[in-house]
Amino acid sequence: MSLSAYATEGGFDGRHQPASCFSPVIALGRVSGPGPALELWTRYEEVIEVAARLGIAGVCLELSWARLEPRRRQRDAAAVERYRQVVDFARSRGLWVGVAAIDAAWPAWLGQEAWLMPWVVPVAVDYLRWISEALEADSWSVFAQRDRLTKGFVDRGAGPPWRSDGSRDQRDAARQLDEIVDSLRGGAVEWCDARDVELDDLAGLTMSAAEVHVRSLVRGTGPLASRRGLIARSGDDWVVVADEIPDELLAP
């Protein structure tokens, strides 16, 4: 089960907070930001406890690059340590822990259309190698939701007014994402391809990917929130809101 940093952690795109690629459209009033979200930055352990009691096999922690490196080459050691605590806590509860290093709320300093820029490949590879050395996890995937990184090129009204062929830009961006993945092959960490599916898609899922991330353990808020979740917050407590837990998500 996935835990989306941007949708659940809170503390993004506000004054004196890490800025993501969503900050301009939030400022323009086109989308609502996550605000405090579900405050998981300080409450991850509570949700992980519930997940462990449910018998969930593991969690995929989607990291926030915007939080870890809020400005180019200014990396936040406290954020790294907090993610390390979350990983260690989940493992202590018997959960397998996967990490997805790049989500769809990349740092604002990368630019709105970062994946078209030729310089983004070495910058992303440098970040990925750094964070995989700074954290330990049972598995690593480069992207949390790869399709979200290029979807904006073909979404109506999402691009700049001069764009005439978003599909071409989408293909160019996709090639750069491939180049990022290819640049990591043969390193100390084995990066896997992750397939991201919704809970509703489980019935027809063919387990052909190296790893499957199922959204979402909790729904969260903001533009990256999932439609469904297994756990929700009720006051100060966390409650199970799913009628049943799919067998595919449970530990063997």
Q: Is 166 inside any structural domain? A: no
More confident residue, 223 or 90: 90
CA-to-CA dists, residue 109 to 84, 123, 171, angstroms: 25, 11, 23
How many structural domains compose the chain?
Answer: 1
Residue 153's pLDDT is: 74
pLDDT tens digits, 11-52: 999 999 999 999 988 988 888 899 999 999 999 999 999 999
Q: What's the pLDDT score for residue 7?
A: 95
Residue 240: inside a domain: yes
What does the pLDDT look like over 183-207, one tens digit per residue? 999 999 999 988 888 888 887 766 6
Q: Which residues of 128-160 are buried (b: 16+ CB within 10 A; e: fewer)?
A: bbebbeebebebbbbbbbbeebbebbeeeeebe
The CATH number covering residue 38 comes to 3.20.20.80
* Amino acid letter for position 41: W
Residue 18 covered by a domain: yes
92 within some domain: yes
pLDDT at 14: 93
Q: Is 157 domain-assigned?
A: no
pLDDT tens by residue, 210-230: 788 898 999 999 889 988 899
228: containing domain: 2-111+123-146+191-249
